[in-house]
Structure 1
């Protein structure tokens, strides 16, 4: 399913112009990310989806964290007294990708009870490649690393909803994810050249194996209560999340002369052990209160996060930090209210205000430090919609967002990639804030044009520090940037009986100032982005179709990094049979794809990265939907709305 405004990759999904997303299924957050989210979304066939709602500026009901948009996937409701499901499988093969997915989803609705059970697994491997070039005064370092990653994961999800009475339901859901792939491998080598003669001086070689395993359990209890036919409603959710991750990496490195002779005393070896535990308890209470001329939505939410991260290095260099136990606690208390009103058929308004109080505590045993933060912030939102005539609409939105650092960003314990490269967090890292304003025009719900402005303060990112004396490169988290950005976006959907085309493009200008001594004080410039998605229908029933999509991003600044142009092209075919119950698909991902290239300056020295995370691959897929009625005489349809959460 191709959705306007979404940017979909092999193992990623996002909203165009947003830094990330949160995914909801029937208005409830999945609380998944990364590969776990992709595996979960693969379990849903396109025939199960009623519509996909893309919310680029979330209202006050949603958390203020992040500049992420929201994707709400609404599933088709099943009739009462129904049993059925969908079985699906796919396999991807390519230059650097070979993995398969298989999953089953089951649904049962009987009387007052509706339930579901989903499961799936992903098996295989994929590769990525990273290159970088560091230009020191005395020499130049050209590095390359090839990563082989393996996948061996499965998930189970189940839930049940019960209608206690006509307008009151209670339910529970559980999701369990487990991943235990075979150890991945990374091979890297660095060629060190004399800067004045361009003669090869030495070679740095390293080999590492990383063994990881993870388990995640998410439990949810929810209840919905409707009081009258005007829409007065209460929802209450309680969630518990447990996330465990173990990582064991062995690293071997040595320095060689150009003839391959090892230089004595230059080896750098270590064994790295990490054990992380995360517990999250949260609860949200929401009310919808409709009145004669307006509607109020209000609620409260609390969340408590407790992270324990134990790290140990057994290294050949006794001068390096050996181990640490880092604890990070976060408490967030939130209240919100939204006021919406239609003044006429032409003009409507929604105003919102969210208050969030945050407390964080970070404790590092190795450095014997304890850092606490305690702050309260208001986050307003404004939406205005005006339709001067039929088919024409003007809209305006304003919002304030917060980006909080994650626990790894505030952990001061260093992570070593090799003897000359390491990264670490900063315990006093502060949150950053973003203000967004957008003015848009829509013609016949099809042609869209919008202008936006965004300002971000105290932006945190990794500062790259190249030390000319030691040749050490460090990546350190700091609050050091302010960003101003404005732009113009346009999108249009063209439809005929045999073709549907969605085109989106935009031009933007970004100016970033930096207070970090090692970076350039200012970076600014224009950028252009475009994407095109075509769907071709080969028969009247639209059961045989093909897709062709592409995207392009021009040279542009992202913070202090100058990004080179990128592009990609993908294609696919889909054939539906047996009254749309059976679907067969063939896709070519990244038919043409560019590298991810960037450069930046540190202490007046240049560093260039040239990475390739996507390669050309072919994917075949099959899915089959089955099921039917299990009607009993005298039963009533009391749970149709509940089934929309399945």
Structure 2
């Protein structure tokens, strides 16, 4: 049990000539997951060391030509039959060895999207996410097949930032260092129970000692221009690996909103308010990261990492014109609001890791400690002028708000893993996390005799949270079965104190989170799977903050100190035929879902955007997935998801409980092309469509979007030129309606989605090195 063997063999062309420097890949038969890679020597000989007993597939490739797959059963040292590659030859001035992974791989618990050889690899990471199969990005939020609560990870560490900071970080970071995007639908117990589906961004690592670097620039043009400039540096020595990455982004972005509200009294419409809002964002942002891995000896490694984002300037100018039409006499009046806001922030994270290997069989102990410091200041000034039916100014109301927040996060985690016999593995660990947050707000100049919103009194909000977690997991392979199972327990204590309230916020709870994944492969053409996952979503720190963000004199976004955590249960049953056709039946039950709900206050004539818990979300349906490498130059992916989704919520004014449900269709169609004889030109063409869907107390109408990207390697791959165009036909907009009881309003979101981008990257140094991007984040940072 646990014995390891050597597998060797020969690679030849069909004419009998040995093939030097061919790529040989070893896959598990059970789930076609990649195990190892090797290259043949000058005589066409290859070998794999340390191969455990199992059934494998072996395949050789060389300059776009492939051998057939060979099935081997490894239970002793083995010499496999010769692998033959098509003898069609090409005369080359030099030999460039490239191992091309399949663009899409379906593994036991995740879908892997390999972007290295696609046109997306020279865009930014945010654009890559928008083109990742099963991932939908709308209104700068991320869902997977219509399911929210998605968590972002980089190299298995969560990116715990506020949503706007996640957007800035990923849109300001080149995807050149990304190896793949993993969409993990059933996360193992090792990962925190926070969220449901995980998106893991896997970065490349150095393979050969030496130094290399790169500089890159990306220009984008919508209504306004955007710019990203960056540099990356990597070094690998005998004991030390280090990397440093820096990027600077400067953006100017236009977004338009329209809110139409029919205010109601005694079941009759009294006024119709139409507010057209134009928002212009201007931002400057610096992203830095530094990583140092030092091998103390063969069994002990010490790592230090630091990630920092500095936003010296984030300015918004909101101009809205709200027209008020009286339903009885048709008279029109209104008000103009000019809203200036300035945002500054520092977000710095530091990590210290230690890993000890007990033996060559794979047993190891890891210790990780983490500290984050997050500090931001936001100042806002509103100037409102009221006008009558003749357009004459009849009043004004100007005021300013000042908001500060400081959050400190600390965590320490210990993990132990060990193989059990030949085909099983056990893993367990504990974690402690502490969060300390303090916020302050002040207002000046508000005229309380004027109608409209009433700002919060000056106040301070303190919030502390402690989490203690432990987990154990087990995975095994036997015959044609694969199993992953685990149980995670998390104990949470929260305390909040708002100076304007006598009520203290106190909460404590212990919850269990089981996971289970089973897969059965009776043969190479059929695969059956089943999974179950329970997860939690805790309130983010900005959502539980009671302070307000003003959009106009009669429109406000409000936090909610009474938010409760939500719990989600997901079940998936799947069948895959010939690795290309997959059918999935799924069921999802989500209790206490946190939604940004829109309510109209008919008495005070206010439009309030409030984050609150809805009673529950229920969804069930069928997914169909088709993925195929149609040729050596074209691979495609198609997703169709048809499901019934319903939400139950309580109207905050009438306290009436309501149910809303719809059958929804999601479509996604991705194509990747590799062109020219030297395969130096790649292209991606993507399409997505979402039919009407229920979200919270809103019905969102359908939307669709096309996107294209191109990449051309030049100067022997030292240079890369990229071009892209998103929302080609300018079709993307979101329209949400709420019509029930005493609610009758519409919100329309129209971003500047059609963006043309042009990028250039130059690589220098030892180009045999693969990039060594790494990044580490922890769990609680996503709720800042």
* Superposition TM-score tier, normalisation by shorter sequence: over 0.9
Please name the residue that 2:476 is paired with.
341
CA distance in 2, matches of 1:6, 1:624: 30
8 A Cα contact 2:142 2:148, kept in partner: no
Please name the residue that 1:367 is paired with.
501
CA distance in 2, matches of 1:26, 1:627: 25
TM superposition shift of 1:414: 4.2
Alignment partner of 2:447 out of 288, 296, 317: 317
Alignment partner of 1:499 out of 624, 627, 634: 634
- Flag the 1:167–1:40 CA change in 2: closer, same or farther, 3 A: farther
User: TM-score of the superposition, structure 1-length normalised?
Assistant: 0.92
CA distance in 2, matches of 1:62, 1:185: 40
Matched, 1:91 2:219: yes
Please name the residue that 1:634 is paired with.
none
Please name the residue that 1:268 is paired with.
397
- Flag the 1:9–1:92 CA change in 2: closer, same or farther, 3 A: farther
1:200-237 deviation per Cα after TM superposition (whole angstroms, max 9, x unaligned) = 42011100111111011100001111122211111211
TM superposition shift of 1:515: 3.4
1:112-140 deviation per Cα after TM superposition (whole angstroms, max 9, x unaligned) = 11111111100131011110110112110
- Flag the 1:214–1:48 CA change in 2: closer, same or farther, 3 A: closer
Please name the residue that 1:564 is paired with.
701
Alignment partner of 1:169 out of 277, 298, 301: 301
Please name the residue that 2:734 is paired with.
596
- Flag the 1:413–1:204 CA change in 2: closer, same or farther, 3 A: same
Alignment partner of 1:249 out of 359, 380, 390: 380
Secondary structure at the counterpart of residue 475 of structure 2: strand
Matched, 1:434 2:561: no
CA distance in 2, matches of 1:280, 1:26: 20
TM superposition shift of 1:477: 3.4
Secondary structure at the counterpart of residue 181 of structure 1: strand
8 A Cα contact 1:89 1:622, kept in partner: yes
Alignment partner of 2:662 out of 520, 525, 542: 525
- 348-357 vs 474-483, which deviates more? 474-483
- 40-49 vs 439-448, which deviates more? 40-49
Please name the residue that 1:302 is paired with.
432
Secondary structure at the counterpart of residue 408 of structure 1: helix
Alignment partner of 1:327 out of 453, 462, 465: 462
Secondary structure at the counterpart of residue 518 of structure 2: strand
- 610-619 vs 458-467, which deviates more? 458-467
Describe how 1:39-188 pairs up with structure 2 within 5 A. Answer: 40-41=169-170, 48-80=177-209, 82-95=210-223, 97-136=224-263, 137-181=269-313, 183-188=315-320
8 A Cα contact 1:114 1:643, kept in partner: no
TM superposition shift of 1:305: 0.7
1:303-322 deviation per Cα after TM superposition (whole angstroms, max 9, x unaligned) = 11111110111132247433
- Flag the 1:49–1:188 CA change in 2: closer, same or farther, 3 A: closer
TM superposition shift of 1:493: 1.8
8 A Cα contact 2:490 2:512, kept in partner: yes
CA distance in 2, matches of 1:644, 1:139: 56
- Flag the 1:538–1:166 CA change in 2: closer, same or farther, 3 A: same
CA distance in 1, matches of 2:276, 2:337: 11
- Flag the 1:128–1:482 CA change in 2: closer, same or farther, 3 A: same
8 A Cα contact 2:155 2:201, kept in partner: yes
1:83-121 deviation per Cα after TM superposition (whole angstroms, max 9, x unaligned) = 0122211010122x4110011110111221111111110
Alignment partner of 2:335 out of 194, 198, 204: 204
Matched, 1:228 2:379: no
- Flag the 1:391–1:241 CA change in 2: closer, same or farther, 3 A: same
8 A Cα contact 2:187 2:196, kept in partner: no
Please name the residue that 1:410 is paired with.
544
CA distance in 2, matches of 1:566, 1:40: 26
CA RMSD of superposed structures (Å) = 2.5
Please name the residue that 2:754 is paired with.
616
TM superposition shift of 1:577: 1.9
- 537-546 vs 45-54, which deviates more? 45-54
Please name the residue that 1:215 is paired with.
346
TM superposition shift of 1:450: 0.7
Matched, 1:542 2:679: yes
TM superposition shift of 1:15: 3.8
- Flag the 1:323–1:285 CA change in 2: closer, same or farther, 3 A: same
CA distance in 2, matches of 1:547, 1:364: 51
8 A Cα contact 1:91 1:100, kept in partner: yes
TM superposition shift of 1:161: 0.9
Larger-Rg structure: 2
CA distance in 2, matches of 1:32, 1:504: 30
CA distance in 2, matches of 1:591, 1:86: 30
8 A Cα contact 1:23 1:70, kept in partner: yes
CA distance in 2, matches of 1:30, 1:426: 24
TM superposition shift of 1:463: 4.1
- 303-312 vs 223-232, which deviates more? 223-232
TM superposition shift of 1:75: 1.0
CA distance in 2, matches of 1:591, 1:30: 30
- Flag the 1:491–1:341 CA change in 2: closer, same or farther, 3 A: same
TM superposition shift of 1:183: 2.9
TM superposition shift of 1:164: 0.5
CA distance in 1, matches of 2:496, 2:431: 23
8 A Cα contact 1:43 1:105, kept in partner: no
